[in-house]
Chains A and B, each alone.
Chain A
């Protein structure tokens, strides 16, 4: 299934920051949703701003337009305000994208666990994100930081407890 671009993607002015405040707000909204759905479709969890600029997400080769670095930073800042993005470094070059909030991931994982009657069992993080049993689940291939956050969300709900051991972490569901 290929990614479905919004109509704006083929609209050249979309790639230029609009001076009018209202129009710019709408433009930013559209970019935010585009970035999130792009990451969701390609299961991207960490983004490098430089790479992102060259990727199809911000670079439409067909109409030969790409979003400027400045505009990308603005879009990302907007996403950060919404809570979908977190910077990994001070220079704002790399970031974490959360197109699904940790609580939602936690819910998905917990659903899978209870559906399979594995409540009260212990899991390694590797097992959850890369194990054979989770093959085909949405959270398969989830990056460890994201997995950890969703488990932490479950932990605050009292439905899981993260176990830290010398080499690696595990989790027990309740």
Chain B
């Protein structure tokens, strides 16, 4: 970046790439050299053949000696090529290993950061809070479902009793009629089931409405 044209991206060619390229170029040169020697060998073999046919054994022998030497050269270059190629492969593999290491490093750092966010105390606090919330939710559920505890029921009955004690005769008679209702919920059902009764109560004696067991249950619920 930051060059004059601003267009060219940063080169993605690393030093290792250049090293590999150099090795490969060297290998190419050796290959070309091999090609040359092979052609040479072929030619010399043919030449030796014709020399033999012509009866020039000495010369043919000399030629074959030369050929033998070149054969050895060929073998040597073959070894060198395989050396170069091994080097190239080692380099490439080292690059891959480097990438793997980098990947592991990034993963490790990420994991560390995540762990920093999730300290043990924090987790404990959150878990406690969650427990509290669950408890709270359970209470709400209970209330909404309308399930009253025995204590609540007792309190309701006690209040009812108190009211009936202090109420008028008519009020008492009415409350006695309702007496078989066992719980506050039943009471509610009684009043809901007979719409005339509530209207009768209020029209009969307005003073009593406040203190009547029915209105009391209503306000409780």
Residue from B12, B13, B25, B92 in contact with A168 in the complex, judged by beta carbons closer than 8 Å: B25
A70 to chain B, nearest CB (A): 42
Please, how many angstroms separate the alpha-carbon atoms of A122 and B87 in the complex? Answer: 14
When the two chains form their complex, are residues B92 and A163 in contact, meaning their CB atoms are under 8 A apart?
no
Contact B13 A165 (CB under 8 A): no
Interface size band for B: 10 to 19
Stretch at the interface among B14-22, B68-76, B125-133: B14-22
Q: What CA separation (Å) do A158 and B10 show in the bound complex?
A: 11
Q: How far, in angstroms, from A161 to B21 measured CA to CA in the complex?
A: 13
Question: Contacts A121-B92, A127-B28 known; A165 to B18 CB distance under 8 Å?
Answer: yes
Q: Among A165, A168, A170, which residue has the most Cβ atoms of chain B within 10 A?
A: A170
Task: Give the nearest-CB partner of B99 in chain A.
Answer: A120
Interface of chain B, main secondary structure: helix
Cross-chain contact B25 with A172 (CB below 8 angstroms): no
> What per-residue 1/0 map shows which CB atoms of B116-140 lie under 8 Å from chain A?
0000000000000000000000000
Q: Which residues of A contact B22 (CB under 8 A)?
A: 165
Do residues B92 and A167 form an inter-chain contact, with CB atoms below 8 A? no
Q: Determine whether the beta carbon of A122 is less than 8 Å from that of B20.
A: yes
With a CB–CB cut-off of 8 A, which chain A residues contact B12?
161, 172, 174
Complex CA gap A172/B13 in Å reads 7
Closest B residue by C-beta to A170: B21
CB interface residues, A 117-174, toward B, < 8 Å: 121-124, 126-127, 158, 161, 163, 165, 167-168, 170, 172, 174
From B9, B24, B31, give the contact of A122 (CB < 8 A).
B24
Asked whether A161 and B11 contact (CB < 8 A) given A121-B92, A122-B17, A172-B17, the answer is yes
Q: Are A124 and B18 in contact (CB under 8 A)?
A: no
Which of chain A's residues have a CB closer than 8 A to the CB of B31? 126
The winner among B20, B25, B31 for most chain A CB atoms within 10 A is B25
A168 contacts across to B, CB distance below 8 A: 25, 28
Which partner residue on chain B sits nearest A174 by CB separation? B12
A165/B17 contact (C-beta < 8 A), A121-B92, A172-B12, A174-B12 known:
no
On whether the beta carbons of A127 and B13 are closer than 8 Å, the reply is: no
Inter-subunit contact B13/A124 (CB<8 Å): no
* CB <8 Å contact, B25 and A124: yes
Contact present for B25 and A170 (CB under 8 Å): yes
Q: Which residue of A lies closest to B16 (CB)?
A: A122
Q: Are B25 and A163 in contact (CB under 8 A)?
A: no
Q: Mark B21-41, 1 if CB is under 8 A from A, else 0.
A: 110110010011000000000
Which residues of chain A come closer than 8 Å to B9, judged between CB atoms? 158
A residues touching B (Cβ–Cβ < 8 Å)? 121-124, 126-127, 158, 161, 163, 165, 167-168, 170, 172, 174
Given contacts A126-B31, A163-B18, 12 further A-B contacts (CB under 8 A): A121-B20, A122-B20, A122-B21, A123-B24, A126-B25, A126-B28, A127-B28, A163-B13, A165-B18, A165-B21, A165-B22, A170-B21
- Name 8 A/B residue pairs within 8 A (Cβ), A-sorted: A122-B17, A123-B24, A126-B31, A163-B17, A165-B21, A165-B25, A170-B25, A172-B12
* B-to-A contact residues, CB < 8 Å: 9, 11-13, 17-18, 20-22, 24-25, 28, 31-32, 92
